[in-house]
Amino acid sequence: MVCTRRSWSDLAGTVSVRLGFNRNRYLVAPGLYAVGAPDRSAPVLVTANYKLSFDTLRFALPGRHIWLLVLDTCGINVWCAAGKGTFSTQELVFRVEASGLAKLVDHRRLIVPQLGATGISALQVKEQSGFSIQFGPLRASDIAAWFDNGKREIEGMRDVTFSLKERAELIPVEFHLALKSMWWLFPLLFIISGIGPDLQITARLMSRGMWMIVALLAGTGAGIILVPLLLPWLPGRAFALKGAIAGLLCGLFLIFMTETGLRLPELLALLGIVVVMSSYLGMNFTGSTPYTSPTGVEWEMKRAIPAQFSLLVGALMLWVGTPLVLT
Amino acid sequence: MKDLRYIDGVTSLSLDRSVCIGCKMCSQVCPQAVFSYHAGKASIEDGDGCMECGACGVNCPVGALSVNPGVG
């Protein structure tokens, strides 16, 4: 028996997972669950054992009597697990068998979320388990309306969206992941900023070093906050380009709105760093968007990575070279 | 997706209309509204909207669709 109302601990768990903590271990036990008091004719919904997926689904079913068949996807959501092969034909057939579902219901029908179709072949499940599959709506929040409409979709239920709210929800976890993989850039570039012709290292760290940190933060913010929020309005299709433009805006704002006391080549170097950082992180965001094709990402990376690398090398040469050459 | 568009002209999706039986499974599973139906068979209406998730290829009962899905 599962509850269809959200508790405070569910809410706290959701917030912490969205922030990126404990995200890979937020799961429920696989198997068969009862929502309400399902009988032998009650529908069977299939889902993943990521607790956010399980919660979203059960909270969308208040007052209904339904069986939930939870597959073991190692705590990964339906779509990603389907793409990676754990929300699969094989696992579904196994779970139907292991749960003894055939002894609990008279019908032989399963409702699989539409995004699970990447991993589940309806034809093969039917052949191997005797259960036929109907692909339900894409979003759990549409499931009640879909049932009430006689298990037929209403306009828009089949299409994935990427609204401002959906994009904003990704920001905390993107931040967490970026800092985890790129934190070393901050101390490294800070220390490099101290290089110069004399022993005034502390003075250079206090001015150039600090501004380098500011530039890195600006680049991170542009790539991780501005790119998702301004996605439809940033020009271009390629995310590396969108990121570069967001970085350029942030970098120019930084240079013109603050009194850095730095020289022109140094300012250009900082601008380059902000643009590279934002462009790279923007490109990285393709992995979290629901409309980018792998072939497109490959096309973009082949062109963007050499450009980003050249700009990075150029900016660093300008940054380190300026105090050595100009006195 | 109608409002957000990615790189055009690169998708690996292809459909063999001569094999298609018009069961409409592909449009049931497609999250990007790529397919439409003409003369009882599927056709690729918006190939540039395809994100290569692979759901149509996995669920086409006659193997009329091929797509090279990535991981994710």
Does the pLDDT at position A26 exceed 90?
no
Does the pLDDT at position B70 exceed 80?
no
Cβ neighbours for A134, distance < 8 A, ≥ 6 positions apart: A109, A110, A111, A112, A151
Tens digit of each residue's pLDDT (9 = 90 or more) over A200-250: 999 999 999 999 999 999 999 999 999 999 999 999 999 999 999 999 999
**CB-CB under 8 Å, A158 with B27:** yes
A31's enclosing H/E stretch is: strand A31-35
* Start-end of CATH 3.40.50.11600 domains in chain A: 8-148
CB A110 within 8 A of CB A78: no
Tens digit of each residue's pLDDT (9 = 90 or more) over A166-203: 999 999 999 999 999 999 999 999 999 999 999 999 99
Q: CA-to-CA distance for A14 and A125, rounded, in angstroms?
A: 32
Nearest to A88 by CA among A118, A119, A114: A119
Predicted ipTM beyond 0.90 = yes
Report, as an integer, the average pLDDT of A89-99: 97
Residue A65 pLDDT class (50, 70, 90 cuts): very high
Taking any CB pair shorter than 8 Å as contact, residues of chain A touching chain B are 79-80, 82-84, 114-115, 117-123, 135, 138, 158-162, 231-232, 237-238, 287, 289-297, 299-300
Q: CA-to-CA distance for B65 and A33, rounded, in angstroms?
A: 36
Does the pLDDT at position B71 exceed 60?
no
Q: Which residues of B touch A157 (CB under 8 A)?
A: none
**CB-CB under 8 Å, A299 with B10:** yes
Structural domains of chain B in order of their starting residue, each with its CATH number:
1-52 (3.30.70)
Report, as an integer, the average pLDDT of B31-56: 95
Annotation: CATH topology of A8-148: Rossmann fold (3.40.50)
Q: CA-to-CA distance for B38 and B28, rounded, in angstroms?
A: 16
Name the closest residue on chain B to residue A113, using Cα atoms. B29
The number of beta carbons lying within 10 Å of the beta carbon of residue A125 is 22
pLDDT averaged over chain A?
A: 94
Buried b (16+ CB within 10 A) or exposed e, A145-172: ebbeeeeebeeebbbbbbeeeebeebeb
Does the pLDDT at position B72 exceed 50?
no
Residue A22 pLDDT class (50, 70, 90 cuts): confident
Taking any CB pair shorter than 8 Å as contact, residues of chain B touching chain A are 1, 3-8, 10-12, 25, 27-33, 49-55, 58-59, 61, 68-72
Q: Is A170 left (phi over 0), alpha (psi -120 to 50) or beta?
A: alpha
Class of residue A92 by CB neighbours under 10 A (exposed 0-12, middle 13-18, buried 19+): buried
Report, as an integer, the average pLDDT of A258-266: 92
Does the pLDDT at position B8 exceed 70?
yes
Which amino acid is it at A288? Answer: S
**CB-CB under 8 Å, A295 with B11:** yes
Q: Which residues of B touch A80 (CB under 8 A)?
A: 72
Minimal C-alpha gap between A196 and chain B (Å) = 44
**CB-CB under 8 Å, A138 with B28:** no
What confidence score (pLDDT) does residue A12 get? 77
**Least CB-CB distance to A117: which of B12, B32, B58?**
B58
Q: Which residues of A touch B27 (CB under 8 A)?
A: 158
Provide the H-helix boundaries in A29-170.
51-59, 78-84, 89-99, 101-104, 122-129, 143-148, 164-169
